[in-house]
């Protein structure tokens, strides 16, 4: 044994030294990872051939080993860590020779590139990385951060530590819209840091809050980290639970768990929402408390007033809190009372299949014992009782095609149960009502008659829906009946929009906020998966940037505005009309709706192309595309290189060795805590991409193969990885900030300033550890 270490341990040290040396060499990380894999394999192969690497494996032919197996201990549970007294046998780290390992690695890397990078199931999700990067870089180049920082500083500046709080707010906002850490930190460092220093802010607080707030994009959706980690976590969790079920004697994970072993990126976005907000609140709370304790280091600053009309507290409460709350709460109450709901008459042509037992009970004794241990005796007895009732009734009722009479009866029952106010109408009324309320709130002294007419139009829309429109009313008739009330409502809404445009805060925040709502809403609401939502975000970012550029050039942005309206028309027509024109008996109104939607689609595409042309002629699109290609290529190159490095670790038994060590602990909490500690320490020297693609695949089968909720495990890892941007000496956010900080701000200032925020990260992890419901409550409440 070399230096008293096992051969596998020496191999792991060689891999880590090569990886660390490659990163420190200054060579691009994306290529350094693959190079480290090749070099480390060559060194390990040479040392193994020279007989320097000896692995002390358990002697499976010994009497002690056979006696242990005969007691019921399974083979995969026996390791040198759990049973150190078992007889050992010396063998090389490449039992079949390094040539065989090399041949296997070459074939495996080709298969893995095909499965995980080029044509596997996860490639569609990975395309979201490209779209989110394009979205983020486009918004960053559109100077959205400039306006946000200026406006938020004016709003929060008069408060103690207000500038620091405004940085956190802008950081959270940019995290949800761009998610690009480097761009966010650099932008806020260039724009906000000089202002904070001139205002008397402590360099430590100023640099710390900028660096920390810039990393919120790693956890607040849509987060590239969660996309990358989610695609990996889904595979790891599924495979780990299948292995766990097999070890328990069950046929598959569905039988053992009672539910599919699946975790999606969309679900992880839902799970990350509250933890991201929690971290932002902790940052802001620290800045505010720091200012209260050290007012001379974080003074209140008056940076001028926003261009808005002065309003009283009563007016603000009435129009910004009271009226919106009345609209939203009233609609929810009507929904619970049956006043608002679906008016669809679509019913299934087949009968509903019968209920099955909550758990599968026709399993072997080993699987039964494991399921009772997992779910509890009470849940197992309930499943047995349910299965007995099903068997007594003749088995599970199968779904059968309904007769014409039964189908008509089912349709009539659904029509009778339909709510008087449709869900779509209620949503439109609430949204337009919020616009009218905001318009009145920002300018109470303005002429209120157009707003009153708009409110009357909303009331008429509800009355028309109740009195004249029913579940069997055709979409064409509904459009005709709603035309006049909707036009009246839109007259007031257009007027309210012009009033809101006078308010600087709304004018700056509203456009990107709507883009965030559209992207995240479609994902969190279960409407679509992250990839189409990311495409929507990328297209919206391009149009938003073009709108901003046209305004800066004093050119009319009407084409962009009308293109946005065309997209809305496409959505509304698609929701309310049957656009399938390739079937028999297409109605006249369906043809009209199809051509309206098609015309709107053509104009929307024209608007997008026009936006691209505006950005291209303005010199914005070319660097955006170039930077997007660079970032995306880096991510995928790191993915390929990390697969190679991971295969090298597998080839000499390093992965199995680490997993055996982790499985030697009896307490699952201890294992997970140890893994989190290792990830935290590695964050000091490795980037999050290296940790995701090199370390997580090694420890994943252990931490995802237990009883912990996979959503909680993944978000805990994501929050932990966020600290890799902040921890000295290689935190990327610190390097970004150091590059744009004034000469008066030293590296020591940055390091001292970031320490409290690293501790806040640890505190955030502790909160999520003791209160896991913060992670799981949103996915449980929202559809998937």
Residue 59 has what pLDDT?
84
What are the tens digits of pLDDT across the range 674-701? 999 998 888 887 778 788 888 898 899 9
What are the tens digits of pLDDT across the range 334-368? 988 888 888 877 777 776 766 778 888 888 888 99
Residues 378 and 325 in one domain: no
Question: Does residue 216 form part of some domain?
Answer: no
| 94/44 Cα distance (integer angstroms) | 9
Contacting residues for 500 by C-beta, under 8 A, at least 6 apart: 435, 438, 439, 442, 506, 507, 510
Question: Does residue 320 form part of some domain?
Answer: yes
Residue 454 has what pLDDT?
94
Residues 370 and 486 in one domain: no
pLDDT band with cut points at 50, 70 and 90 for residue 118: low
Assign 97 to helix, strand or coil.
coil
| β-bridge partners, 713 | none
- Measured CA to CA in angstroms, residue 573 lies from 23, 520, 601 at distances of 54, 22, 11
Buried residues in 195-221 as b, exposed as e (16+ CB within 10 A) = bbbebebbbbbbbbbbbbbbbbbbbbb
Domain boundary among 501, 524, 551: 501
- Lowest mean pLDDT segment, chosen from 308-317, 491-500, 555-564: 308-317
Residue 777 has what pLDDT?
92
If one compares 532 and 27, the residue with the highest pLDDT of the two is 532
Whole domain around residue 370: which residue ranges? 357-389
Flag whether pLDDT at 784 surpasses 60. Answer: no
Assign 605 to helix, strand or coil.
helix
What are the tens digits of pLDDT across the range 560-600? 999 999 988 888 888 788 788 887 778 888 888 899 999 99
Mean pLDDT (the chain, rounded): 85
Residues 431 and 468 in one domain: yes
Residue 198 has what pLDDT?
84
pTM: 0.84
Residues 322 and 384 in one domain: no
Among 57, 81, 10, 86, which Cα is nearest to 661's? 81
DSSP string over 23-35: HHTTS-HHHHHHH
Tokens of 92: 């090389």
- Between vectors from CA 638 to CA 140 and to CA 688, what angle results, nearest 5°? 65
Buried residues in 44-65 as b, exposed as e (16+ CB within 10 A) = bbebbeeeebbbebbeeeeeeb
pLDDT band with cut points at 50, 70 and 90 for residue 280: very high
Q: Cα 11 vs. chain centroid, distance in angstroms?
A: 36
Q: Percent of the chain beyond pLDDT 70?
A: 93
| 702/674 Cα distance (integer angstroms) | 12
| β-bridge partners, 721 | none
Q: Where would I find the H helices in 525-653?
A: 530-552, 558-576, 588-617, 621-651
Residue 578 has what pLDDT?
79
Q: What count of Cα atoms within 13 Å lies in the side-chain half-sphere of residue 337?
A: 9
Provide Rg for the chain, Cα atoms: 30
Residues 426 and 487 in one domain: yes
Residues 442 and 472 in one domain: yes
Assign 421 to helix, strand or coil.
strand
Q: Are 712 and 680 in contact (CB under 8 A)?
A: no
Largest CA distance in the chain: 95
Residue 571 has what pLDDT?
84
Domain boundary among 484, 501, 518: 501
Residue 589 has what pLDDT?
85
Question: Does residue 512 form part of some domain?
Answer: no
Residue 313 has what pLDDT?
82
Question: Does residue 476 form part of some domain?
Answer: yes
| 264/279 Cα distance (integer angstroms) | 23
| 650/701 Cα distance (integer angstroms) | 13
| 375/667 Cα distance (integer angstroms) | 18
Task: Determine how many CB atoms are found less than 10 A away from the CB of residue 279.
Answer: 30
For range 11-31, the mean pLDDT: 83
pLDDT band with cut points at 50, 70 and 90 for residue 759: very high
| DSSP3 helix / strand / coil % (the chain, rounded to 5) | 75, 0, 25
Contacting residues for 549 by C-beta, under 8 A, at least 6 apart: 142, 614, 615, 618, 620
| 768/771 Cα distance (integer angstroms) | 5
| 289/286 Cα distance (integer angstroms) | 5
Q: Are 350 and 402 in contact (CB under 8 A)?
A: yes
Among 333, 321, 293, which Cα is nearest to 440's? 321
| 217/574 Cα distance (integer angstroms) | 33
User: HEC profile for 379-413?
Assistant: HHHHHHHHHHHHHHCCCCCCCCECCHHHHHHHHHH
For range 200-218, the mean pLDDT: 88
Residue 714 has what pLDDT?
94
Assign 448 to helix, strand or coil.
coil
Residue 122 has what pLDDT?
59
Flag whether pLDDT at 292 surpasses 60. Answer: yes
- Measured CA to CA in angstroms, residue 507 lies from 374, 504, 619 at distances of 54, 5, 25
Question: Does residue 766 form part of some domain?
Answer: no
Question: Does residue 533 form part of some domain?
Answer: no
Q: What count of Cα atoms within 13 Å lies in the side-chain half-sphere of residue 740?
A: 20
Q: Where would I find the H helices in 142-180?
A: 144-156, 162-177
Tokens of 497: 């929009």
Tokens of 706: 């237990």
Question: Does residue 380 form part of some domain?
Answer: yes
Residues 463 and 491 in one domain: yes
Assign 56 to helix, strand or coil.
strand
> If you ran DSSP here, which 8-state letter would residue 207 be given?
H
For range 722-736, the mean pLDDT: 79
Among 582, 574, 576, which Cα is nearest to 598's? 574
Among 433, 472, 465, which Cα is nearest to 451's? 433
Residues 361 and 493 in one domain: no
Let me know if 152 is exposed, middle or buried by CB neighbors in 10 A (0-12, 13-18, 19+): buried
For range 34-42, the mean pLDDT: 88
Flag whether pLDDT at 296 surpasses 80. Answer: yes
Residue 514 has what pLDDT?
83
Residue with tokens 């810039």: 214
Residues 329 and 437 in one domain: yes
What are the tens digits of pLDDT across the range 377-423? 999 999 999 888 888 877 766 767 777 887 788 888 888 888 899 88
Residues 422 and 487 in one domain: yes
| 168/163 Cα distance (integer angstroms) | 9
Residues 488 and 452 in one domain: yes
Domain boundary among 477, 501, 525: 501
Contacting residues for 684 by C-beta, under 8 A, at least 6 apart: 724, 727, 728, 729, 730, 731
For range 131-157, the mean pLDDT: 79
Let me know if 140 is exposed, middle or buried by CB neighbors in 10 A (0-12, 13-18, 19+): buried
| β-bridge partners, 421 | 340
**Domain total for the chain?**
2
Tokens of 747: 């590296």
CA dihedral 239, 244, 248, 254 (to 10 degrees): -50
Question: Does residue 468 form part of some domain?
Answer: yes
Residues 425 and 496 in one domain: yes
| 251/362 Cα distance (integer angstroms) | 11
């Amino acid at each position: 044994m070399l230096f008293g270490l096992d051969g596998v341990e020496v191999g792991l040290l060689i891999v880590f030294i090569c990886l660390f040396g490659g990163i420190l060499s200054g060579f691009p990380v994306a290529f350094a990872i693959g190079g480290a894999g090749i070099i480390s394999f060559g060194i390990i192969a040479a040392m193994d051939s020279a007989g320097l690497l000896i692995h002390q494996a358990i002697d499976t032919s010994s009497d002690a080993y056979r006696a242990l197996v005969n007691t019921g201990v399974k083979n995969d549970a026996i390791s040198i860590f759990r049973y150190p007294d078992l007889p050992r046998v010396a063998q090389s780290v490449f039992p079949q020779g390094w040539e065989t390992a090399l041949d296997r690695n070459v074939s495996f890397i080709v298969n893995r590139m095909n499965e995980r990078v080029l044509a596997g199931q996860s490639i569609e999700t990975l395309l979201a990385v490209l779209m989110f990067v394009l979205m983020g870089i486009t918004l960053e180049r559109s100077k959205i951060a400039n306006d946000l920082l200026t406006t938020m500083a004016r709003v929060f500046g008069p408060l103690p530590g207000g500038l620091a709080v405004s940085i956190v707010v802008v950081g959270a906002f940019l995290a949800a819209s761009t998610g690009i850490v480097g761009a966010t930190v650099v932008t806020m460092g260039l724009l906000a840091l000089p202002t904070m220093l001139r205002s008397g802010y402590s360099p430590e607080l100023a640099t710390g809050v900028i660096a920390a707030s810039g990393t919120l994009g790693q956890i607040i959706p849509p987060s590239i980290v969660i996309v990358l980690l989610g695609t990996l976590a889904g595979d790891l969790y599924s495979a780990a639970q299948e292995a766990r079920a097999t070890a328990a004697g069950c046929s598959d994970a569905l039988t053992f768990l009672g539910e599919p072993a699946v975790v999606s990126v969309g679900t992880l976005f839902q799970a990350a929402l509250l933890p991201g907000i929690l971290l932002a609140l902790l940052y802001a709370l620290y800045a505010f408390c720091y200012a209260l304790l050290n007012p001379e280091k974080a003074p209140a600053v008056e940076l001028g007033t926003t261009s808005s009309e002065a309003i009283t507290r009563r007016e603000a409460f009435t129009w910004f809190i009271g009226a919106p709350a009345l609209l939203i709460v009233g609609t929810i109450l009507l929904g619970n009372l049956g006043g608002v709901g679906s008016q669809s008459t679509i019913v299934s042509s087949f009968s509903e299949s019968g209920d099955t037992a909550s758990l599968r009970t026709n399993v072997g004794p080993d699987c039964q014992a494991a399921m009772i241990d997992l779910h509890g005796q009470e849940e197992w007895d309930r499943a047995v009782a349910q299965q007995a009732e099903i068997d007594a009734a003749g088995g599970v009722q199968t779904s059968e095609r309904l007769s014409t009479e039964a189908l008509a009866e089912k349709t009539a029952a659904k029509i009778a149960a339909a709510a008087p106010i449709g869900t779509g109408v209620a949503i439109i009324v609430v949204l337009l009502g919020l616009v009218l309320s905001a318009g009145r709130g920002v300018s109470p002294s303005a002429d209120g008659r157009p707003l009153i007419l708009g409110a009357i139009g909303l009331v008429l829309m509800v009355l028309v829906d109740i009195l004249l429109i029913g579940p069997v009313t055709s979409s064409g008739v509904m459009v005709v009946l709603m035309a006049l009330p909707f036009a009246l409502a839109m007259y007031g809404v257009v007027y309210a929009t012009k009033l809101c445009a006078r308010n600087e805060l709304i004018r700056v925040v509203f456009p990107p906020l709507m883009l965030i709502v559209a992207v995240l809403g479609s994902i969190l609401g279960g409407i679509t998966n992250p990839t189409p939502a990311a495409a929507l975000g990328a297209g919206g970012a391009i149009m938003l940037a073009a709108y901003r550029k046209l305004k800066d050039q004093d050119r009319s942005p009407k084409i962009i505005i009308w293109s946005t309206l065309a997209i809305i028309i496409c959505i509304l027509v698609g929701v309310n009309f049957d656009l399938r024109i390739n079937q028999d008996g297409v109605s006249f109104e369906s043809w009209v709706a199809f051509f309206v939607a098609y015309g709107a689609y053509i104009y929307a595409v024209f608007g997008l192309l026009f936006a691209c042309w505006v950005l291209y002629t303005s010199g914005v699109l070319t660097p955006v595309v170039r930077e997007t290609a660079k970032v995306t290529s880096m991510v995928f190159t790191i993915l390929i290189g990390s697969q190679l490095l991971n295969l090298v670790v597998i080839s000499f038994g390093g992965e199995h060795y680490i997993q055996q060590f982790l499985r030697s602990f009896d307490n699952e909490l201890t294992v997970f805590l140890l893994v989190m500690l290792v990830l935290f320490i590695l964050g000091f020297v490795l980037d999050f991409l290296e940790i995701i693609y090199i370390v997580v695949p090694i420890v994943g089968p252990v931490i995802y193969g237990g009883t912990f909720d996979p959503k909680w495990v993944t978000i805990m890892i994501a929050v932990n990885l966020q600290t890799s941007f902040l921890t000295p000496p290689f935190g990327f956010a610190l390097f970004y900030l150091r590059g744009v900080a004034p000469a008066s701000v030293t590296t020591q200032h940055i390091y001292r300033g970031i320490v409290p925020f690293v501790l806040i990260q640890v505190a955030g992890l502790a909160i999520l550890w003791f209160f896991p419901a913060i992670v799981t409550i949103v996915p449980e409440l929202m559809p998937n």
